[in-house]
Chain A
Amino acid sequence: MNEGVNRPTAEVVRVTSRYAAARRNRPAEPVLKQVSLAVHPLRTVGLVGESGCGKSTLGRVMLKLLPVEAGQVRFEGRDITGLSLREMRPLRRRMQIVFQHPDSSFNPRAVLLDSLVEPTAIHRSMSRSDAADRARQLLDVVGLHPELLSRYPHQVSGGQLQRMALVRILMLEPKFIVLDEPTSMLDVSVQAQLVECLRRVQQEFGIAYLFISHDLDLIRRVSDDIAVMQGGRIVEQGTPEQIWEAPREAYTRALVEAFRF
């Protein structure tokens, strides 16, 4: 088997997951049914579907933030399905997530600098002053002013907070990032800013993205490959052109129709 170049960074193989959150009265219906998906280095896989289709769950399952009942979760060629919390810890540096709601992505009582150096504090990988320097460097990469570091989350706009979230993740040098509807709470123009920033970061740091969204227009522009989800399954996969011009499944067609406004 040709390890290395074409090995996916993150992958799930026929996973079934029953819980979306640790609640007790979940219905018997599984949230993910036999789902397989692979994300390769330096590529962006777009995951599109309506709310409730399971796309957010799939993203979290790939990061082992949610449990699976059946199937395999793999990372950098290794089966991580059965790993314990402790064993996962060193791996967590290389797999991260950006959330939909920038306002609640940061501890409201902590100054942004503290939130940004927290990852390195958790992993004890560098001194606080080194971490602060690195944070400043990364702020530059994403186009933010270092002055923002001394502010609280509520004093910063949504688009800026999403870029901050990106910096926080980059502190750990991840190879795989799940972007869970990162722009759905942002205005159109701010969305464009963030997408441009994400592109730059991907090229510079060589990261694989799973871009989750319900906006097919957006997904088409940012993805190398698209996976369409419905009811806990991936119903179709293909390149943006294939999905848009020649959708095979009925659901995909309906989705494309909805966007051919």
Chain B
Amino acid sequence: MNRTSLLDAFRSPMAAAALSFLAVVAAISAFAPLLAPCDPEAVDMGNRLAPFSLSHPLGTDHLGRDVLSRLLHGGRHTLLLALAASAATMAIGLALGIVSGYFGGFADDAIQWFVQLFQGLPGLSFMLAIAGTLGPGAASLFIAVVITSWADFSRIVRGETLKLREEHYVEAVRAMGSGHGRIMLRHLMPNLLGPIVVLFTVRIGRTMLAIASLSFLGLGLQPPLPDWGVMVSDARTYFRSYPHLMILPGMCIAAVSLAINLLGDALRDGWDARTERNGEEWR
């Protein structure tokens, strides 16, 4: 039976392109301070809303700040936050999902009660509420994202765990006298990783959009931070005359979001192909 690895997903040109693009974005975001021609927060009221020029290839914004530099810096906070929040969600969801699925019984019932409670929360609205209560900023964004996402995640992990729990190799290890911890860590977790990685990728994309949206509404990251969401928000007033101030950061958000989704799709295809029993007919 042919078994492709998750990495085979990158044979598709779209997926490879998405991955390369994201790699470039990540590199740019990481090295922005070195790459940017100007300080993204340097105000120059004498040179506001300047057109494209050699010293400012993409012009300046309403406070005279270099647009190009701000764009280069623009992904840093959002991406980092999205990654951190998704990682935390995954960690919580994974831990609770495995415990719930593996032990069943009372622990399962208890955890699932919480899951159902949190799953019922309307995502974006709740994030708004939290951001509103705790005050805007990265910290409350982080909390908001984790609170609204962990439940869904843990449910999926639980489902997969329930399936895996019945596999012969788990029974074999139990028959050998293994303790619960070993089974969960060495036998369940690695086999859950496949679908989890796919979910994780998709989740980062959604989180990114949520953060950008909240920042746009003024409830997330705040000015003067050079962040794409903030930039879109700042440019609202000047949209008629200077549309590029809003369109450029908007395109960045859209492009990265799209790339992440394509990546997630490719990984999912790779995973599906891997578990697809196309070899069955040959037997």
Contacts and interface: CB of A to CB of B under 8 A. Distances in A.
Interface of A: 21-22, 63, 65, 88-90, 92-93, 95-97, 99-101, 104-110, 115, 118-119, 122-123, 154, 165, 168, 172
A105 B191 contact: no
A100 B182 CA distance: 24
B15 to A, nearest CB: 23
Contacts of B191: 107-109
A43 to B, nearest CB: 21
A99 B171 contact: yes
Interface string B94-129: 000000000010000000000000000000000000
B171 A107 contact: no
A101 B173 CA distance: 15
A4 B174 CA distance: 29
B contacts with A: majority SS: helix
Interface string B5-39: 00000000000000000000000000000000000
Nearest to A96: B175
A92 B191 CA distance: 25
A83 B168 CA distance: 24
Given A109-B190, A154-B3, A101 B168 contact: yes
B169 A172 contact: no
Interface of B: 1, 3, 104, 166-169, 171-179, 182, 186-187, 190-191, 193
A105 B178 contact: no
B177 A107 contact: no
Contacts of B182: 122
A165 B168 CA distance: 11
A96 B175 CA distance: 6
A93 B175 CA distance: 9
Contacts of B177: 88-90, 92-93, 122-123
Given A22-B104, A122-B182, A154-B1, A107 B169 contact: yes
B176 A119 contact: yes
B190 A92 contact: no
A105 B175 contact: no
14 contacts: A21-B166, A63-B175, A65-B175, A90-B177, A97-B171, A99-B172, A107-B169, A107-B190, A109-B193, A110-B186, A118-B173, A123-B176, A123-B177, A154-B3
Contacts of B176: 92-93, 96, 118-119, 122-123, 172
Nearest to B3: A154
Contacts of A93: 176-177
B283 to A, nearest CB: 9
B244 to A, nearest CB: 49
Nearest to A171: B176
Contact of A99 (B1, B168, B178, B179): B168
Contacts of A123: 176-177
A103 B271 CA distance: 18
Contacts of A63: 175
B174 A105 contact: no
Closest 5 CB pairs of A and B: A92-B177, A109-B190, A104-B168, A99-B168, A89-B177
